[in-house]
Amino acid sequence: IIGTGSYVPERILTNRHLREMVDTSDKWIVERTGIRERRIASGEETNVTMGRIALERAIENSGIRCEEIEFLVVGTNTTEPVWPSASGHIANLLGLRKDLPFLDVQAGCTGFNFAFSVAEMFIKAGQYRTVAVIGTDKLSAITDYQDRNTCVLFGDGAGALILKQSMSEGIIRSHLGGNARSRNLLILSKKDGTGNAYIRMEGRKVYTFAKKAMVESCFRVLDPSGTADKKELRTLFEQVTKIIPHQANARIIMGAAEELESRLELPAGEAKNKMIVTIEQYGNNSCASIPLALDISLRTGKLRKGDLVIFVGFGAGLTYAANLVRI
Ligand code: COA
């Protein structure tokens, strides 16, 4: 990873604002989710405009020229209209190479992890040397602000990074997972009388899935063959500096950390202290959450070059995935 960038809209929607919109309270939201505020895109802002700014910042941060990018992969779920793809719009807006290949990856909130893995494969195969990856979503466009089960959770934003082929250790591997049989737990559904489709979710069931998927994916990315015993797995886990989880709910993140500690017989707090949590200010902004947290962590010194990091995500589909990276 030679550069990162991110963007969040200016408008802040606090728990107090939400209290005026649905039957909820700041206390309930903070206790059950860890979220205090989230960013909401303006009418003109889209996943494309946010993704464009995030990528511009990542390019600047990496010190490369736009023309050096050979391939663009965008994880997103909220392109409107659905085609042409967000990646095409962004490539055009930024004036990337005229013949640049680009594609969108739609895998719910796991879209960033999947997109990252697509980039990883092209780089490892030697097809491209410099690849841009973006995670961007405008969930506010598909959130029903009359549904307290969902509207307190979601926000908007974008994050991007530039990957460059290198002889030193970088992306070690990814683990991708899915559970299509449970796809109905988190869907878009038309609201009566409006014609608009909004997120509908069985929160409890998604919660249980998410916690389990995070633990499973962390283990599988460290031990792809599944043959390591507890002691070996613990040694592998101890080498990990930080984990950047998808920011869906602070309780899911901490619950997964507790589960990791119990399964690996680690001292209390060992996995919790590795978790990077930015949800308090941004809520769940889907594909943006991991690259946004990565950018913030690098800029604030929470992460340094050389750290061994796991990006772990889960989302609609249902899908889940983890990427093990020496940053
Ligand atoms: N404010 C106040 N009360 C609320 C509320 C809100 N915003 N939303 C739900 N409630 C109520 C419920 O109606 C329920 O009331 P009841 O007991 O009278 O039926 C009660 O709070 C408990 O609901 P429950 O669903 O059991 O709460 P929970 O502890 O599971 O927390 C979520 C709810 C949504 C925060 C949690 O299930 C969750 O985070 N799920 C995963 C969501 C997710 O990550 N989705 C995206 C994946 S990418």
Q: Is residue 78 classed exposed, middle or buried when 0-12, 13-18 and 19+ CB atoms within 10 A define those classes?
A: buried
The confidence score (pLDDT) of residue 110 equals 98
The confidence score (pLDDT) of residue 209 equals 97
Q: In whole angstroms, what separates CA 274 from the centre of its chain?
A: 17
Q: In whole angstroms, what separates CA 243 from the centre of its chain?
A: 12
Averaged pLDDT, groups of 10, the chain, 327 residues long: 98 97 97 98 97 98 97 97 95 97 98 98 97 98 96 98 95 98 96 88 96 98 96 97 98 98 97 98 98 98 96 98 97
Q: What is the pTM of this model?
A: 0.96
Region class of 179: left (phi > 0), else alpha (psi between -120 and 50), else beta: beta
Asked if 8 and 156 count as a contact pair (C-beta separation under 8 A), the reply is yes
181 alpha carbon – ligand 1 mean position (Å): 22
Pick the catalytic residue from 15, 218, 246, 285. Answer: 246
Pick the catalytic residue from 249, 284, 285, 323. Answer: 284
Residue 149 bears catalytic tag: no
